[in-house]
């Protein structure tokens, strides 16, 4: 599978391809070669740096985004493969400066320390609460089992998700991200 060393240096440069994404409700046209991931495009091309690169191997969940409504590790999705998809990142959760109930709960419950895992954790929790609006403690822990945190010991994260779920159910907080009308902008990787 690994080819000889000399052969490797005959660098092929695969062509960039147009990739259309609807990111946080906005249609974006970018160009990316096949070896760019969705995470690369979000961060480097579109400047959406809220999604963090933690392991780049799908093991830590720091780069979790919603792809067509389902949570994925953006580091494992090829950008070309996401063409035509709808992507929601952490930047797409708050509306008009008002925090999403999960964001609010993470602040209020002290679920944030260094904060590096936080965006992925919150986006994963959005996916969890959509599937199960009333998760118990165990369901919450299973729901975020693919997200690592080194600071908090998870207790306050679990509490925050439970609090947000209660708030959303009681209608004191509005549900997941809404959609703004699509507009078109272009971004091209330099």
Identify residues 12-31 at the interface with other proteins (CB under 8 A).
12-14, 17
20 or 56: CB nearest other proteins: 56
Which residue of 18, 29, 34, 134 would you call a contact of other proteins, by CB under 8 A?
34
Residue of 46, 93, 52 lying closest to 74 (CA atoms) = 52
Reading the block at residue 99, the tokens are: 């925090």
Which residue of 30, 48, 126, 173 would you call a contact of other proteins, by CB under 8 A?
48
* 57/148 Cα distance (integer angstroms): 13
Identify residues 66-105 at the interface with other proteins (CB under 8 A).
67, 70-73, 76-78, 80-81, 89-91, 93-94, 99, 103
**Would you say 36 and 79 are in contact if contact means Cβ atoms under 8 Å apart?**
yes
* Binding of residue 5 to other proteins (CB under 8 A): yes
Q: How far is the CB of 138 from other proteins (least distance, A)?
A: 8
Number of residues that bind other proteins (CB under 8 A): 87
Q: How far is the CB of 12 from other proteins (least distance, A)?
A: 5
Identify residues 100-139 at the interface with other proteins (CB under 8 A).
103, 106-110, 112-119, 122, 124, 127-128, 137
* Binding of residue 61 to other proteins (CB under 8 A): yes
What is each CA distance from 86 to 79, 154, 156, 166, 182, in whole angstroms? 12, 29, 30, 27, 11
Which residue of 45, 85, 88, 152 would you call a contact of other proteins, by CB under 8 A?
152
21 or 51: CB nearest other proteins: 51
Residue of 172, 176, 178, 49 lying closest to 108 (CA atoms) = 172
**Helix ranges, the chain (H):** 5-8, 38-40, 101-108, 118-131, 137-143, 155-169
SS3 20: strand
28 or 109: CB nearest other proteins: 109
SS3 76: helix
* Binding of residue 62 to other proteins (CB under 8 A): yes
């Amino acid at each position: 599978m690994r080819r000889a060393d000399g052969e490797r240096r005959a660098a092929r440069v695969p062509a960039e391809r147009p990739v259309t994404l609807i990111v946080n409700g906005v249609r974006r046209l970018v160009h990316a070669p096949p070896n760019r991931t969705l995470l690369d495009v979000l961060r480097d091309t579109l400047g959406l740096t809220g999604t963090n690169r933690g392991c780049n191997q799908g093991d830590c969940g720091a780069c979790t985004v919603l792809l067509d409504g389902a949570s994925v590790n953006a580091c494992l999705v090829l950008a070309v493969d996401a063409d035509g998809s709808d992507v929601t990142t952490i930047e797409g959760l708050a509306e008009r400066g008002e925090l999403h109930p999960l964001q609010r709960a993470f602040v209020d419950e002290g679920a944030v320390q260094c904060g590096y895992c936080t965006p992925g954790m919150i986006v994963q929790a959005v996916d969890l609460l959509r599937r199960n609006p009333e998760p118990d403690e165990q369901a919450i822990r299973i729901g975020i089992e693919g997200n690592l945190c080194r600071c908090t010991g998870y207790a306050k994260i679990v509490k925050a998700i439970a609090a947000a779920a209660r708030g959303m159910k009681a209608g004191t907080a509005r549900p997941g991200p809404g959609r703004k009308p699509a507009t078109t902008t272009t971004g091209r990787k330099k």
